[in-house]
Amino acid sequence: MAKLPLIRAKELIKILEKIGFKSVRQEGSHVFLRDMMMEELP
């Protein structure tokens, strides 16, 4: 199995925001993200 490239947390958060996640809060070094597509469903 191929190894995944190392990326920083800030880079990962930017990627996740591009695909529909949003940072909702942060406690220390922990960032909580929410999938905004799921909020649109009835």
* Average pLDDT of the chain to the nearest whole number: 88
Residue 21, pLDDT above cutoff 90: yes
Per-domain residue ranges of the chain: 9-40
Q: What is the 3-state secondary structure (H, E, C) of 4-40?
A: CCCCCHHHHHHHHHHCCEEEEEEECCEEEEEEHHHHH
| Torsion (CA) 2, 11, 28, 25 in degrees, nearest 10 | -110
Alpha carbon distance 30, 23 (integer Å): 11
| Better-predicted residue by pLDDT, 36 or 41 | 36
The model's pTM: 0.70
Q: How confident is the model at residue 40 (pLDDT cuts 50, 70, 90)?
A: low
| 23 touches 33 (CB < 8 A) | yes
**pLDDT tens-place string over residues 22-34:** 999 999 999 999 9
pLDDT of residue 1: 81
